[in-house]
Structure 1
Amino acid sequence: MGTDNWHLALEYDQWVSLPVAGTRPSARYKHAAVVVDEKLYIVGGSRNGRYLSDVQVARGGQSVSLVGSKLIMFGGEDKRRHLMNDVHILDLETMAWNVAETIQTPPAPRFDHTATVHANRYLQIYGGCTHSIFFNDLHVLDLETLEWSQPQIQGDLVSPRAGHAGVSIDEKWFMVGGGDNRNGASETLVMDLHKLAISVLTNVKGRHPLASEGLSVSSTFLDGDQYLVAFGGYNGKYNNESPAAAAAAASVTAAYALAKSESLDFTNFNSKPKVELSVKINVIKEEKKTLESTIREVEAENSQLMEKLEDLKVTHVDLTKELHSVQNQLASEKSRCDDLEAQILDLQKKLSSMQSIEQQVQELRSQNSAIEQDMELASTAQTQGSGGVWRWIAG
């Protein structure tokens, strides 16, 4: 399939892998995407628990909205799971990011919200969550004054949610799915962007794929009618169901038709022309090839992981041996230290005893010196006395 006329080779109701020239972005999820002038811009996201840094700030769960030639990115969480409520702007002409210096009170830091732009001026943020709190509030940023406000929502009271998807059509903002990590949101909502009034358009029952978190929704025209097409999501399982839709895309989760009266009614797609059996067989064959390729990739990845596990086991054994060796050395050194401490204590005792002996020696020396002085004086006196007697006799 060529890169110039790839759309001419598309088959009815079938997904195909598009040819892409150049280096592909790394695989990811929880990213933001927007189409501008036949170009798809992918912003941020997460891979293997690590947020990607191919935008100004590595993050996931953020929203990205197109305004003229600029992309407006709000919120999300960074690779350390710090929640944010900042606004970054990408100029598509210069491809330069800038941080918007907003005024007034911004929304609480959050991620997995949805956003839209009204009248090419007002960025609107609805719902989302922190790591423990879910929101059903509305915040508006005036992109000319960069001033935040929180208008009161009119209409129906709806439950807080995150991971929902939204798409704007004229003055209507349709929101599908989401949840609060316990229950999926079953309502399809529509907000009048002029009146800021929200209403429940329809409900689904049970564990319907539309009551999922992390799904996407888009709008398209088919045979003069406008449709919303939702794909994917997670509600205890990952969804990629494939109803017999008359859209040129397979594995859609659900689809809704937007009538001219602007009311959104569920459309039975079984009334559309059915796909020929041969086409379905080709689809199944392609899906089989894709599954087999995926299995091979998983097996190769599993083999690599097993090799890494064996390497880790060997490393663990070596480290265990080294630890035991170090522990033995420490035990030997401890015993040696105990012996040295005993020797030091014995030497201290001997030193104390020597000091006592030295004092006794000094005392004996003092006594001996005193005795010697007394003997010397006695000797001198005796000598002097003896000479006087002889002088008397001689005289």
Structure 2
Amino acid sequence: MASSGLAYPDRFYAAAAYAGFAGGGDTSSAVLSRFQSDVALLLYGLHQQATVGPCNVPKPRAWNPVEQSKWTSWHGLGSMPSAEAMRLFVKILEEEDPGWYSRVPEFNSEPVVDIQMHKPKEDPQIVPASTNGTSISEPKIISENGSSLETQDKDVILEGLSTVSSHDEWTPLSISGQRPKPRYEHGATVLQDKMYVFGGNHNGRYLSDLQALDLKSLTWSKIDTKLQAESSDSAKTSQIAPCAGHSMITWGNKFFSIAGHTKDPSEGITVKEFDPHTCTWSNVRTYGKSPVSRGGQTVTRVGTTLVLFGGEDAKRCLLNDLHILDLETMTWDDVDAIGTPPSPRSDHTAACHADRYLLIFGGGSHATCFNDLHVLDLQTMEWSRPKQQGLTPSPRAGHAGATVGENWYIVGGGNNKSGVSETLVLNMSTLTWSVVSTVEGRVPLASEGMTLVHSNYNGYDYLISFGGYNGRYSNEVYTLKLSLKSDSKSTTKAETVSDTTSRVVEPEVETSQDAKIREIAMDSADSDLKNSTDEASEQLLAALKAEKEELEATLNREQLQTVQLKEDIAQAESRNVELTKELQAVRGQLAAEQSRCFKLEKLQSMDALEKEVELLRRQRAASEQAALDAKQRQSSGGMWGWIVGTPPDKSES
């Protein structure tokens, strides 16, 4: 029997009895004999919290260390609800002893609860256990909102998702089997009442395992897969390449894994197909120009095509390109849509409405998270930003989304500061946002990189989340049971009707929906007018464009500055050569000037000598003139001189 056979609180009571928490007497020795001391103390505290409530008893004295440790374990749980304490008790027991349930008949299956369990809203009446220690009486099944559901027959047991009784509230599922490794950025899809989980990221390492959760028995199982050899039809037992940030899409009785980050990325996107019947992976050959490899993109099935948008490539470059893969011909088509597309982003969500409109919400760049909503009309291939109604969602990236009819549910995500706690729903016909549920505390539902799938079980619609990262990696499974039952016939018809037929005629039951769809089409046609009236949205878009342009301008400036620096260095070297030549020329000129100076100095000294010579010449001429004059005077004396007896000049003799 699977461990999910008993609903709460029966399952908790059976686990408590197995662990050794019997009514009356000291249970410490029985529990300590089976578990380690820290596990036993934690089980004791959870058992007290579930059966008694929050710890209000005084702390034991220090001389009794055992009772003091038990009190500390119980008191540390604070005001944890009893239902949560029951769930954690069973979870810890399953981690310590996965096969406990199969051995329950060997023990007392019905624990004797000696203290009435306190409930916040009402106290359901618990039927006392039998005293023979072998049979289980039929207590009422307590739901989390305090209401009770009477079990009519011991053999009629609620199984799978039917054990969830509350609506529009997230409920942790207690699941048997070996849990998958905690992860985020994995892929998930539902096929034949099973949720398949593939790959993901754990502690920075990419994963390649394939896990399956049976939604009927709520049991995990790991699938041993084979990889189809490309050269032959035979399959070989080997691991498929680990990846994260990929997309998983169900198609017929198989599903695809598309794109994703890998250790050794290829140039183009890879498409892998898994066949559950043969447990075989195979690489799908596609035609046309494949989009560049990436992760964090969205892939949305629209009729017989897959629409891929955005993501982040192996070089961490954000993308906002649009590609369509025809599933019948496996041919890629690169689409150039008109209008203003969403800014480049990754980790956003996408949904299809009425097989015509592709909606893109949120996501992030390397520094900013978005809360904008874009719509692509797949008939006219035109982008628009229609006006939204209701509350304004907070920016987020790494969130998950799932569609149920015309409603699009958004869960989790982060905004670079903390996880987003509210679960939103967008009516895609009226484009009206509202809050479905809000979680408190640091729970996996307020995390990034989780997955969200939709499953219809016994006429009810369920949202199922798995994994995520909010500071720690998670492998928890939560479910939310939606208030209204979906029309499975209309849902199936909407999924199988051809695209041509859906454009021509629709069922009468969806007449009102057609009017709303036409209203969206009119909004798309009048997108320019709506963009002008939506001032806040335009300001956000302008800010994003300005940020992009500023980053591009900064990059260009840095590149230009680098080029300029190189040119400056080359010019400086050239100037250095020129200056060296000029220095040599100046030195030559200086030598010539020095030579001229020497010559001038010499010329100045010659002038002085010439003056002296001239002076001497003048003196000599004067002397010669005086002598001549004297001689003439002598010769002019004549007879008179001889008469007077003037003596002759001795110098002449």
Q: TM-score, normalised by structure 2?
A: 0.36
Does 1:192 find its partner at 2:407?
A: no
Residue in 2 that maps onto 1:35: 250
Distance 2:468 2:475 in 1: 8
Q: 2:316 aligned to 81, 104, 126, which one?
A: 81
Name the aligned partner's letter for residue 257 of structure 2. Answer: I
Q: Give me the whole-angstrom Cα distance separating, in 2, the residues matched to 1:51 and 1:195.
A: 41
Residue 379 (structure 2) pairs with residue 155 (structure 1):
no
> Of the candidates 471, 481, 500, which is equivalent to residue 257 of structure 1?
481
Contact 1:46 1:60 in 2 (8 A): yes
Paired residue for 2:475?
240
Aligned to 1:123: 358
Kindly tell me the number of residue pairs found equivalent between the two proteins.
Answer: 247
CA contact (8 A) 1:136 1:161 kept: yes
Report the Cα distance in structure 2 between the residues aligned to 1:260 and 1:60, rounded to whole angstroms. Answer: 35
CA contact (8 A) 1:58 1:78 kept: yes
| Shift of residue 157, structure 1, vs aligned partner | 1.8
How far 1:192 moved relative to its partner? 0.6
Which one of the candidate residues 116, 135, 157 is aligned to 2:370? Answer: 135
1:1-395 aligned at under 5 Å gives the runs 12-23=217-228, 25-48=240-263, 53-55=268-270, 56=290, 57-241=292-476, 252=477, 254-260=478-484
Deviations 1:206-246 (A, max 9, x none): 101100101000111223321110001100011112xxxxx
**Do the aligned partners of 1:114 and 1:128 also contact (CA within 8 Å) in 2?**
yes
Given that residues 305 and 326 in structure 2 are in contact (C-alpha distance below 8 angstroms), is that contact kept between their aligned partners in structure 1?
A: yes
Write the letter of the residue equivalent to 2:241.
S
Residues 237/52 of structure 1: CA separation in 2 closer, same or farther (3 Å cut): farther
After TM superposition, where is structure 1 displaced by more than 6 Å over at least 4 residues in a row? none
CA contact (8 A) 1:51 1:59 kept: no
TM-aligned CA deviation for residue 52 of structure 1: 7.3
Whichever of the two has the greater Rg, that structure is 2
CA–CA separation in structure 2 for the residues paired with 1:20 and 1:190? 36
Q: Using the alignment, how far apart are the partners of 1:234 and 1:51 within structure 2?
A: 27
- Whether the aligned pair in 2 keeps the contact of 1:112 and 1:163 (CA below 8 Å) is yes
Does the CA contact (< 8 Å) of 1:126 and 1:138 recur in 2?
yes
Residue 53 of structure 1 and its aligned partner are, at CA, apart by 3.8
SS at 1:47 equivalent: coil
Could you tell me which amino acid in structure 1 is paired with residue 322 of structure 2? V
Q: Distance in 2 between matches of 1:112 and 1:257?
A: 26
| Contact in 2 for aligned 1:127/1:162 (Cα 8 Å) | yes
**In structure 1, how many angstroms separate the alpha carbons of the residues matched to 2:325 and 2:243?**
20
Q: Alignment partner of 1:210: what SS? A: coil
Residue equivalent to 2:511: none
Report the Cα distance in structure 2 between the residues aligned to 1:183 and 1:219, rounded to whole angstroms: 26
Q: 3-state SS of the aligned residue for 2:395?
A: coil
- 1:139 is displaced (CA, Å) by 0.3
Amino acid at match of 2:386: P
User: Cα 1:139–1:6, aligned 2, differ >3 Å: closer, same or farther?
Assistant: closer
Is the contact made by 2:259 and 2:269 (CA closer than 8 Å) also made in structure 1?
Answer: yes
CA distance in 1, matches of 2:325, 2:458: 36
Per mean C-alpha deviation after superposition, the further-off stretch among 200-209 and 45-54 is: 45-54
Whole-angstrom CA distance in 1 between matches of 2:357 and 2:365: 23
**Which secondary structure does the structure 2 equivalent of 1:163 belong to?**
coil
User: Any unmatched runs of 5+ in structure 1?
Assistant: 242-251, 263-395
| Residue 36 of structure 1: how far off its partner (Å) | 1.0
**% identical aligned pairs:** 46
Following TM superposition, by how much is the alpha carbon of 1:82 offset from its aligned partner in structure 2, in angstroms? 0.9
Deviation at 1:33, TM superposition (A): 1.2
Letter in 2 for 1:129: G
Q: 1:231 to 1:6 in 2, by over 3 A?
A: closer
Q: Please give the secondary structure, in 1, of the residue aligned with 2:310.
A: strand
Question: In 2 relative to 1, CA 25–68 (structure 1 residues): closer, same or farther, beyond 3 Å?
Answer: farther
User: Letter of the aligned partner of 2:220 in structure 1?
Assistant: W
1:46-75 deviation digits (Å, cap 9, x = unpaired): 124857744421001000000111100000
Separation in structure 2 between the aligned mates of residue 16 and residue 95 of structure 1, nearest angstrom:
31
Contact 2:369 2:416 in 1 (8 A): no
Shift of 1:202: 1.2
Q: Deviations over 1:251-307 (max 9, x none)?
A: x1x110012278xxxxxxxxxxxxxxxxxxxxxxxxxxxxxxxxxxxxxxxxxxxxx
Aligned equivalents of 1:132 and 1:29: distance in 2? 21
What is the aligned-residue RMSD (CA, Å)? 2.4
Give the C-alpha shift of residue 16 in structure 1.
1.3
- Cα distance, 1:165 vs structure 2: 0.5
Matched residues in 1 for 2:462 and 2:344: separation? 33
Segments of 5+ residues of structure 2 without an aligned counterpart are 1-191, 195-212, 229-238, 271-289, 487-653
Task: Give yes or no for contact 2:269–2:294 (8 Å, CA) kept in 1.
Answer: no
Distance 2:475 2:256 in 1: 23
Equivalent position SS for 2:221: coil
In the TM superposition, what is the alpha-carbon distance from 1:12 to its structure 2 partner? 2.6
User: How much has 1:153 moved relative to structure 2?
Assistant: 1.6
CA contact (8 A) 2:247 2:297 kept: yes
Q: Whole-Å Cα distance in 2 between the matches of residues 206 and 27 of structure 1?
A: 32
Q: What is the deviation of 1:182?
A: 1.9
What SS class does the counterpart of residue 76 from structure 1 fall into? strand
Answer yes or no: is the 8 Å Cα contact 2:300–2:352 preserved in 1.
yes
Q: Distance in 1 between matches of 2:445 and 2:339?
A: 36
Give the distance between the partners of 2:439 and 2:320, measured in 1 at CA.
Answer: 32
Residue 44 of structure 1 deviates from its aligned partner by: 0.8
Corresponding residue for 2:208?
A: none
SS at match of 2:219: coil
Higher strand share: 1
Q: Give the residue type in structure 1 aligned to 2:338.
A: I
Flag the 1:6–1:129 CA change in 2: closer, same or farther, 3 A. Answer: closer
Distance across 2 between alignment mates of 1:130 and 1:45:
17
